[in-house]
Each structure stands twice: as structure tokens, then as C-alpha cells.
A and B are shown apart, each in its own frame.
Chain A
């Protein structure tokens, strides 16, 4: 079987194994797995409200997944998506608050501001890696904390006077749609999912259809060979992180302009960036795969809320299932080996 087939089969089997393992855990802990999963399904797709909320939850996950997948394709590990989300969120809300313009200028401006902020936040580790060889993992992790605490302080001192939540953005900068909300029973669904899907197409286009994407991939496969072939490795490292950061920044925009319409002091990370790593891993760093993985994780996370109330299963179970899925994906080698054994014996 070709590599391509494996790239599809391994995640699918991992998901199935993860769900089965979840069922076994439910059985062992004295819960009914069928009613547990039924509650999960209802919590995510039970009616129009939950569907709306599920879409809302999937949207930023898709973007952070794309961000991390994009960097992965260039051989870079962008753990800083978390911080890029936070600065993107802040930038978008600032534009939404302080600029007065008609919607067709205001909204794009706020979105671009968020993407640029994320890009800028990723530019720092990019330039440090390119010029000084500092490992991007270390720098991006540190940039996460800088983002979290600086943004908290900015909210308290600049956006408000000692309060914990900023004012709400002008309606001309909002992605929220009354029409979408009205058909989904006041869920917080917003137009951001169109942006997320567009970003997925954009990533596919850049990676697979442009010479820039070809260079980025090539640097990811082998920086030395790429350099020998006359590519500017350093430029590509910075470029890759900047594009990755702008995707993550857009995830922050989704929260700022779509879900909340404001920004609050955060007691800890949003986890969007970290969940994005899992999404990218399950999606095999492929835009379509990332979209599907984000849908799966968003569904699991949204549906989890329903499990304690209607089936008595603790929400933590979903975290276990997600962790197991990731474990199975990461140990994809074993699945590959098992399939090959089956194939061989058949002959």
C-alpha cells in the first residue's frame, strides 16, 4: 500500500480505537457506553443550538491546526500558536473598539490586524531561528507567556480602567450574524467558519500550487539540500513561521470578533494553540485532514458537556479519548506494521 493510503488509514483506525477504548473505560467505570456516546452525539448535534455551538468551537481549532500544520510542513514546530492566538485576539478587538468605519472597511481591517499581530508574534522566533539558530520551540513557548501576561496587563490598563473585560466591539467589526443565531436558537455561531475554510484552501494552494510552497516543503524535507539547490533557507524559515502565525492570529480573530466580541483577562492559556498541535497531528499536516480533524475534536469537546448531565459520564472521559487518539496516531508505526502483517499473511 502506498504512503498516501496509510496517511488516511492510520488516523481513521486511531479514531476508532480511541472511541472503543473510551467505551471500555466507560464500561469499567460502571457507565453505559451507548448512552454515554449518545449523550456526546446529542451534545454536539442534538439540535440546531448545539450544531451552532459545535461549528463555533470547530472554527478556531481549524485555524490553529492549519497554523501548526503549515509550520510542520517546513520542518518547524510552532508551539507558539497559543500566544499568536492571544495577540491576534487583542489586535482584532482593538481595531473593533477604536476605529470607526463602515463595515466593508472595518471588518476586513480588524481581521487583517489580527492576522498581522499573529504573524508579528511568529516573526520573532522566525528571525531568531534564521539569524542565530535559536530553536523555535523554546522561543515560541516563551512568547506564549509574554503574550498572555502582556495582553492581560493591556486589558487592565489600556482597554479598561482596572476591569477584567473590555467593552464590546462596534457592530461594524463583528463576525456574528443575527441570521445565523436566529436559525440556531441563539448559539454563538458566526461567519468565521467561512474564513477558516478559506484559510484551509489557501494553505493547500500555497503548499501545493506555488513555487513558494515548493521551497517551503523542500526546506522541510532537507534544509541542506535546499540550500545546495540555491534556495534561501533562512528566508523560508521566517516566511513559514509568519504564515503560520497569521493563521493562528486568525483563530484569535474568530474569538474576538465572532464568539465573544470582546477580550477578557485570561487566567491561563486558551488551549486553542495546544489543541491545534493535536489537530495537525491527526490531520497529517494536510489542509483537508486538518479540517476533518478539527471537526472531530470540536465535536468531541462540545459534546462532552452533555455527558455528565444526561449520562452521568464525567467530561474528562473525552480528554482521555482525545489523548488516546493522539497516542494511537503517534504510534501509527504499530498500526502500519499490523496492517502489513495481515497483508503479508494473506499472500
Chain B
């Protein structure tokens, strides 16, 4: 009886101590952040060790097997190259919802990072606001355009890469039916869709392209459902441009392959080489991937910043020419020489300007009429 009471007292005391300890530490740290606020200006030329880079992910998270991860790999590579430390010279902040973007960006500004990257068009408005509020910090946005003298816009010519994987899909399909799974209908994903459809139809105008949107970049269940429908309807190759949703497409393709190893079905990956995602037993369902070297672009921008040549206010466009858009040929079994040479042929046409890959639905319409 008494011992129980004692236990309760001990418990409450312990709790009090614990809370008091918390309170104490808090105060100290609070003071620290307050005194740290001095107005050191950015973009002094030269030393990478004096340069601090941070990125804010969209709600896909840093391990999305897609462009957030690729950006982070770019920053990490830059950090390792210069012998820098994570958390001191470079860092990332994950956003779990839209409301997190602004506090995440602001936190890095206040921690005196020189360059803050926003990954994904989702961050456009918030990054724009932040760039206007903090003119002494440099910002860069991946995948969309910001308009501020201290912010650079990093965009890619996804339509070029999508065009080429469209060519590969058209060469590979046996059923003359291919599919496209988009994340959210938006000007960005329009580039993927238009480029892909144009690529397919350039090889064979009779091939049917089934276009579906999941309305989310983070819903694998939805991706799986759409892929299941497509494969049931005779589609044999699906190109996805849907971030995490695409993991569901891969899962469905692997399920189908497991049940029926003879059936020739494929997925075309996006952003990174998704060869590893497609492995199932001795097979691999990843035909190829439209690789968008966000890491290359990110490192390029960082290095320019370190050298005091930050491209503020500029719109940087990375395409095949800059080696920032490539087509993976990791799956040697599926990507036969015929296909590779066809892809190279069209790549040359894009490079010399003979073919202009369409980037919007309107451009696609004119492109298809001209075929």
C-alpha cells in the first residue's frame, strides 16, 4: 500500500525533473539562435567550405526513388567531393504536407544557408515568396519557373527524353497498345505525356496510347490499379511519370510477370534509372528509364554559386544536349540493338533540330497532324 504511494511520488518527481531539464535546455538554445542572427551576405566567390546548401523536398520525401532523391544525391556528391559535413554545410528538410514548405524554407534562411533548393513545382509559390522576402539568400527551384533576381529556375526538357522512350516503346510493343500513367495533370506532366505520345506515333501512328492519371504522386495503390486495368486491356508497355505512384505500376507489372513469366510486359521508369525496381526472379520488367539528371543540374548550380556566378533570375533548361536527359539501357536483354539504334537515330534528329519534341497538348496536336 505504502510502496505504491511511494512509487507514485517517485514517478511524479522523475517527471518533474525531466520537464525541468527540458525547460532549461530550451532556454539556452533559444538564446543561441537569437544571438546568431547577423546579416552575413551570400555569394562570395571561391571556397566550397564556406558555402552552405540545403534542399526542401516536396511531400514525396527524400527517399522517393525519384527526383527528390536524385537532387539529394547531387548535393551529397558535391559535399563529399569537397569533404564537407552533412548538417553543417549541406542538409535537407522533408515536407510531409504543403503547409511545411514555407517553414522549411525559412528555417534554412535563418540558419544562414547560401543556397536553398526547392524540389518540385509544388514549391513554386512558397519559394517565390521566400525569394522576395529574403533577397540576400539564393534560391533555386527544380521543375518550374520562379521570377526573382536571387532565384534560379532549373527545368528539364522532359519531352525530349519522353519522346525517346516513346520510340523505344513503339519498337518493343507486340500488341500495338502502350500506356501512360501520369501523376497529377499539370503543365509539367503534360511534357512527359506529349513527348511520349509523339515518340510512339512517330514510329507507328497506329499504336494506341492509353493515357491515365492517378491524381497523386504518392498513391502506389492507385498506380497498381491503373496498371492492372491497362495490362488487362492488352497494353504491354507502360510509361509512368508519377513519382511514388509509379511504384504501384512496377508492383503490378511484377505480379503479372510472376504469374505468367511468358507474357512480355514492361514498365518504363522515370527520373532515375529504375532498373532495380523491375527485378523479379530472373526477369526484369523495366524496359528502360527516362533519366532526368537532377543531380547533374543541382551540382552545376551549386558550383556556379560557389564560384560567385550564381545564375540568379535565369531560367536554366537542361536537355539531351547538356547530358541531363538520358535514356537508360541497363536492361540489355529487353533493349535490343534495333531499339537502341532507333532511339539514337531519333536522338540525333532532336539534337540537330530536325524534330522538335512537343511539350504541351497543343504542340502535340500540331505535331500529330504533321505526321
Say whether A267 contacts B15, CB under 8 Å: no
Say whether A38 contacts B26, CB under 8 Å: yes
Say whether A57 contacts B99, CB under 8 Å: yes
Say yes or no: A164-B102 contact (C-beta < 8 A), given A41-B26, A267-B59, A309-B107: no
Residue of A nearest to B96 (CB): A315
Those of B83-135 within 8 Å (CB) of chain A: 87, 91, 93-94, 96-100, 102-104, 106-107, 110-111, 121-122, 124-125, 133
Say whether B93 contacts A305, CB under 8 Å: yes
A265 within 8 A of B: yes
Interface size on A, as a range, is 35 or more
CA distance A205 to B217 in the complex (A): 43
Say whether A345 contacts B103, CB under 8 Å: no
Those of B187-216 within 8 Å (CB) of chain A: 187, 190, 215-216
B370 within 8 A of A: no
Say whether A47 contacts B33, CB under 8 Å: yes
Say whether A315 contacts B102, CB under 8 Å: no
B22 within 8 A of A: yes
* Contact pattern, A 161-202, Cβ under 8 Å of B = 1, otherwise 0: 011110000000000000000000011100000000000000
Say whether B22 contacts A342, CB under 8 Å: no
List residues of chain A with CB within 8 A of the CB of B133.
186
* Residues on B facing A (Cβ under 8 Å): 1, 4-5, 8, 15, 18, 21-22, 25-26, 29-30, 33-34, 59, 87, 91, 93-94, 96-100, 102-104, 106-107, 110-111, 121-122, 124-125, 133, 183-187, 190, 215-219
Say whether A305 contacts B4, CB under 8 Å: no
For this complex, 24 residue pairs linking A to B, each with C-beta atoms less than 8 Å apart, are: A16-B15, A23-B18, A37-B26, A39-B29, A42-B30, A46-B30, A47-B33, A50-B103, A57-B99, A162-B185, A165-B124, A186-B106, A186-B133, A259-B99, A264-B122, A265-B185, A265-B186, A267-B59, A302-B103, A305-B93, A306-B107, A308-B93, A342-B5, A342-B8
Give the Cβ gap from B260 to chain A, nearest Cβ, in Å: 33
Say whether A164 contacts B33, CB under 8 Å: no
Give the Cβ gap from B252 to chain A, nearest Cβ, in Å: 20
Say whether B103 contacts A53, CB under 8 Å: yes
Residue of B nearest to A162 (CB): B187
List residues of chain B with CB within 8 A of the CB of A270.
97-98
Say whether A309 contacts B218, CB under 8 Å: no
Residue of A nearest to B60 (CB): A267
Q: Which of B21, B59, B93, B217 lies in contact with A309, CB distance below 8 A?
A: B93
Q: Which of B21, B59, B97, B187 lies in contact with A164, CB distance below 8 A?
A: B187
Say whether B15 contacts A149, CB under 8 Å: no
Q: Which of A16, A268, A305, A310 lies in contact with B103, CB distance below 8 A?
A: A305
Which applies to chain B's interface (DSSP): helix, strand, loop or mixed?
helix
Say whether A38 contacts B107, CB under 8 Å: no
Given A35-B25, A152-B184, A268-B219, 18 more contacts at CB 8 Å?
A37-B22, A39-B29, A49-B106, A50-B103, A163-B186, A164-B184, A164-B187, A186-B106, A188-B102, A264-B98, A266-B98, A267-B215, A267-B217, A270-B97, A271-B97, A302-B103, A312-B87, A342-B4
A299 within 8 A of B: no
Say whether B215 contacts A149, CB under 8 Å: yes
List residues of chain B with CB within 8 A of the CB of A39.
29
Say whether A47 contacts B100, CB under 8 Å: no
A20 within 8 A of B: yes
Say yes or no: A152-B215 contact (C-beta < 8 A), given A164-B187, A165-B124, A315-B96: yes
Say whether B217 contacts A156, CB under 8 Å: no
Give the Cβ gap from A261 to chain B, nearest Cβ, in Å: 9
* Residues on A facing B (Cβ under 8 Å): 16, 20, 23, 34-35, 37-39, 41-42, 46-47, 49-50, 53, 57, 149, 152, 156, 162-165, 186-188, 259-260, 262, 264-268, 270-271, 302, 305-306, 308-310, 312, 315, 342, 345-346
Say whether B5 contacts A42, CB under 8 Å: no
List residues of chain B with CB within 8 A of the CB of A260.
125
Residue of B nearest to A260 (CB): B125
Give the Cβ gap from A259 to chain B, nearest Cβ, in Å: 7
Say whether A38 contacts B25, CB under 8 Å: yes
CA distance A35 to B32 in the complex (A): 14
Which applies to chain A's interface (DSSP): helix, strand, loop or mixed?
helix
CA distance A345 to B91 in the complex (A): 55
Give the Cβ gap from A86 to chain B, nearest Cβ, in Å: 12
Say whether A164 contacts B186, CB under 8 Å: yes
Give the Cβ gap from B88 to chain A, nearest Cβ, in Å: 11
Say yes or no: A41-B22 contact (C-beta < 8 A), given A20-B15, A53-B103, A149-B215: yes
Say yes or no: A49-B97 contact (C-beta < 8 A), given A163-B187, A164-B187: no
Say whether B186 contacts A38, CB under 8 Å: no
Say whether A346 contacts B216, CB under 8 Å: no
Say whether B100 contacts A268, CB under 8 Å: no
Say whether A309 contacts B187, CB under 8 Å: no
Give the Cβ gap from B270 to chain A, nearest Cβ, in Å: 16
CA distance A33 to B363 in the complex (A): 56
List residues of chain B with CB within 8 A of the CB of A302.
103
List residues of chain B with CB within 8 A of the CB of A165.
124-125
Say whether B121 contacts A267, CB under 8 Å: no
CA distance A265 to B21 in the complex (A): 44
List residues of chain B with CB within 8 A of the CB of A306.
107
CA distance A87 to B256 in the complex (A): 39
CA distance A342 to B1 in the complex (A): 9
Q: Which of B25, B34, B110 lies in contact with A34, CB distance below 8 A?
A: B25
Give the Cβ gap from B175 to chain A, nearest Cβ, in Å: 30
Q: Which of A20, A271, A305 lies in contact with B107, CB distance below 8 A?
A: A305
Give the Cβ gap from A97 to chain B, nearest Cβ, in Å: 15
Give the Cβ gap from B86 to chain A, nearest Cβ, in Å: 10
Give the Cβ gap from B371 to chain A, nearest Cβ, in Å: 24
Leading 5 A-B pairs by shortest Cβ distance = A38-B25, A41-B26, A267-B216, A164-B186, A38-B26
Say whether A164 contacts B121, CB under 8 Å: yes
Say whether B99 contacts A265, CB under 8 Å: no
Residue of B nearest to A262 (CB): B125
Say whether A345 contacts B97, CB under 8 Å: no
Say whether A268 contacts B186, CB under 8 Å: no
Q: Which of A34, A262, A265 lies in contact with B184, CB distance below 8 A?
A: A265
CA distance A188 to B105 in the complex (A): 13
CA distance A302 to B103 in the complex (A): 8
